[in-house]
Structure 1
Amino acid sequence: MLVALISAFLGGLILNLMPCVFPIISLKAFGLARQGGDLKRMRQEGVAFFAGTLLAMLALAAALIALRASGQAVGWGFQLQSPLVVALLALVLLGSALNLAGMFEFGLSVQRLGQAADGKGGLLGAGLTGALAVVVATPCAGPFMAGAIGFALVQPPLAALEVFAALGAGVAAPFTLLSFSPALARRLPRPGAWMTTLKQALAFPMLAAAAWLLWVLAQQTGSTGLAVMLGCALLLASTCWIYGIAQRRSMTGRPAERLYGLTLLGLASIAALCASPGGALRKPHTPAQAQAQASSRPLESKPVPWSPEAVARERAARHPVFVDFSAEWCLTCKVNEKAVLSTSAFKAAIARTGTTYMVADSTNYDPRIEQAMMALGRSGLPLYLVYPAKGGDPVVLPQVLDTATVLTAMEAASGKKV
């Protein structure tokens, strides 16, 4: 248990360096700079950020544990297997980017209440920033996380929540500790016009994250779902623009009721498009279709779709098998694919050792994939297995691959020199 807690905390620390979390973490950095050296205020926001991160992580973990207890085969990042969740998250990031760019202001009434109550209103924003950091962190998996999460999901619920709490604490720790640093407070510049420029610049990482989620959605739903989502994005942008005009009218005392009505109509239209029963966002590709897409990757030794039957057949023929459990929303998977699995050295090793290369694509939900991972005590992606030609248990490779490790594992599994 102690090893799992330490591993989860270290995994959370490393998540701060992952590109999927950077846009949200940059918002927290802006929040610290905004305080202009006010150490008391920085500490308050640091605690709020920590609380938001921890509560969101525990809520996500509780949902995961409850689903598994009910018999559902789901793993870490399960919510991103739903095109609807991916679409909503993309819209949240797009809305955040438009807010940072200055198209509208979020929570003006809360800010006014905060000013009347010694500035405590902004703590809600810090907490929500922490919660959003947890949501966007789930596609990323790094060192230490896989073993800790796999251990947690075979423990009683209370022990599992302790491990996930350690993971959330690791995500929140760096900026919470910075917020308690007097040395940092002394070095921060005073608030001024430069903050408007910085705030607008931070919109671009948010837009990049939203664009990435749109690409993920296209892999899940095809061109029809992407077209619906682009329409929702355009509708959201126009709604935010109208809302910004309404805010400016209200601040000058002019009537803005009709504009607020149009804002509500725009939001209702977006909700109707996303939640439409039988709509494009509720019709993901089947697992077979998703795996067929994986088999078309530009490799000389093309992978074949994974299935338990295919693995058993290849093992019966005494062929070594390399299995790549991945998903289009898993950034670590994509990095490994580019750095190792698409290299000429890997292709040559596959051909020379006679290894069968399989891809278990978890972009959309496939209970067989989740059950296979659960049987190995694993939950998060990526997962790489090498089955020896002579039989026996598979070798589990590290989540962050390097060419030498992969080639050595295939050489050992085949008994042939790579």
Structure 2
Amino acid sequence: HGPASDLLAGLLAVIVATPCTAPFMGVAIAVALGGPIWSGLLIFLSMGLGLAAPYGVLALVPGLAQRLPRPGGWMERLKQLLAFPLLASCVWLLWVAVLQRGGDAVLLMAGGAVLLGLGSWLYGLAQQRAMLGQAPRFVLGCRLLALLCLLVCLAGLGRSVVMDDESGSPVAATGKTGAAIQGQDGPTIEPFSAERLAALRAAGQPVFVDMTASWCVTCMVNEHVALDVPSVRQAFRQHGVTILRGDWTRRDERITAFLRAHDRDGVPLYLYYPSGGAEQVLPQILTPGLVLDVLSPAGKRGKEE
């Protein structure tokens, strides 16, 4: 109990909330890390205040606590139910890790999860025995084994970072990297490069630039809802548009430079270059109608910069 306990409880709440909030905070976090120190502090302070807002309101207006549901067995069931979205986040993050590192990521992450589970179980067992005042040597042994599990996980994480730095380009597992893709009912999709963009524009061909990342929820939703749909694919093909897709999953420096040249610190970024026209910047949230409007001649005239 006390201020230290409250601080640690707040830190635990932030850590537990990270798998749910991080995908939706990607743009804000990118701005915070890529901008000046004062703006980063303001952004993280705002996020912290938002997380603490419910507790702050209850502290300022104690009467509201009486309107909350009474504690009971439903809390335990709700806690268990809310664990499943977190487990789903783990599955999604494992998929992202496989795209980045290949099959080795499955062994690394699954093995780490088993070790963390074992360490947590040993630590909980030690707590139970300590509260009962039993077997101090057993308690110490369990705690040491739990610490060993944690250290092994950290060592594996450190090794993963080293291997990631030593490896080359991202794994071409999703069609976002590698050779060009020509679909029967869609446009030609090529990996992004500034040189290829310049060549296509010099040739007078319309180009759609799609800056994305596997961990970007907004990017994935836009791709499935607005870009990879029959009407939009047909419009891309009808207008002879080439899609240059930049995969920023592992922070390609060339893509980073392109983003910063357009005053962006993160993805998604969507640009359209009509044949012989000026660059058009699309919103971060796309709809099929918006993309079709940009591709139409009327959309070109109305949105040119």
- Output the CA distance in 2 between the equivalents of 1:176 and 1:296: 51
- Output the CA distance in 2 between the equivalents of 1:383 and 1:169: 27
Change (3 A) 1:309 1:120: closer
- Output the CA distance in 2 between the equivalents of 1:176 and 1:137: 18
How much has 1:124 moved relative to structure 2?
2.7
Does the aligned pair in 2 maintain the 1:221–1:283 contact within 8 Å?
no
Which residue of 1 is the match for residue 127 of structure 2? 247
Change (3 A) 1:285 1:132: farther
SS at match of 1:396: strand
The residue correspondences of 1:103-252 to structure 2 (distance < 5 A) are 114=1, 117=2, 121-130=5-14, 133=17, 137-140=21-24, 149=31, 157-158=37-38, 160-161=39-40, 164=43, 167-168=46-47, 171-172=50-51, 175-176=54-55, 178-179=57-58, 180-182=60-62, 184-252=64-132
The residue correspondences of 1:276-355 to structure 2 (distance < 5 A) are 276=159, 286-287=169-170, 289=172, 291-292=176-177, 300-355=186-241
- Output the CA distance in 2 between the equivalents of 1:175 and 1:297: 51
Give the letter aligned to residue 329 of structure 1: W
Change (3 A) 1:241 1:177: closer
How much has 1:244 moved relative to structure 2?
1.8
Does the aligned pair in 1 maintain the 2:293–2:299 contact within 8 Å?
no
Does the aligned pair in 1 maintain the 2:189–2:243 contact within 8 Å?
yes
Residue segments in structure 2 that go unaligned for 5+ positions in a row:
none
Q: Is it true that 1:363 corresponds to 2:249 in the alignment?
A: yes
Q: 1:38-97: per-residue Cα shift (whole Å, max 9, x none)? A: xxxxxxxxxxxxxxxxxxxxxxxxxxxxxxxxxxxxxxxxxxxxxxxxxxxxxxxxxxxx
How much has 1:249 moved relative to structure 2?
1.6
Q: Is it true that 1:272 corresponds to 2:145 in the alignment?
A: no
- Output the CA distance in 2 between the equivalents of 1:237 and 1:387: 51
SS at match of 1:139: helix
- Output the CA distance in 1 between the equivalents of 2:82 and 2:19: 19
How much has 1:365 moved relative to structure 2?
1.7
- Output the CA distance in 1 between the equivalents of 2:79 and 2:268: 34
Does the aligned pair in 1 maintain the 2:99–2:172 contact within 8 Å?
no
Does the aligned pair in 2 maintain the 1:294–1:359 contact within 8 Å?
no
Change (3 A) 1:345 1:389: same
Does the aligned pair in 2 maintain the 1:314–1:320 contact within 8 Å?
yes
Does the aligned pair in 1 maintain the 2:272–2:281 contact within 8 Å?
yes
Which residue of 2 is the match for residue 25 of structure 1? none
Does the aligned pair in 1 maintain the 2:187–2:240 contact within 8 Å?
no
Give the letter aligned to residue 96 of structure 2: V
Does the aligned pair in 2 maintain the 1:220–1:285 contact within 8 Å?
no
TM-score (norm 1): 0.61
SS at match of 2:114: helix
- Output the CA distance in 2 between the equivalents of 1:157 and 1:399: 25
TM-score (norm 2): 0.82
How much has 1:341 moved relative to structure 2?
1.1
Which residue of 2 is the match for residue 3 of structure 1? none
Does the aligned pair in 1 maintain the 2:187–2:241 contact within 8 Å?
no
How much has 1:391 moved relative to structure 2?
3.6
* 364-373 or 246-255, larger mean C-alpha shift: 246-255
Which residue of 1 is the match for residue 267 of structure 2? 381
Change (3 A) 1:181 1:337: farther
Does the aligned pair in 1 maintain the 2:181–2:188 contact within 8 Å?
yes
Which residue of 1 is the match for residue 142 of structure 2? 259
Q: 1:277-328: per-residue Cα shift (whole Å, max 9, x none)? A: 7865555551484742696698743521000011001101111111111100
- Taking only aligned residues, the RMSD between alpha carbons, in angstroms, comes to 3.4
Does the aligned pair in 2 maintain the 1:301–1:350 contact within 8 Å?
yes
Give the letter aligned to residue 147 of structure 2: L
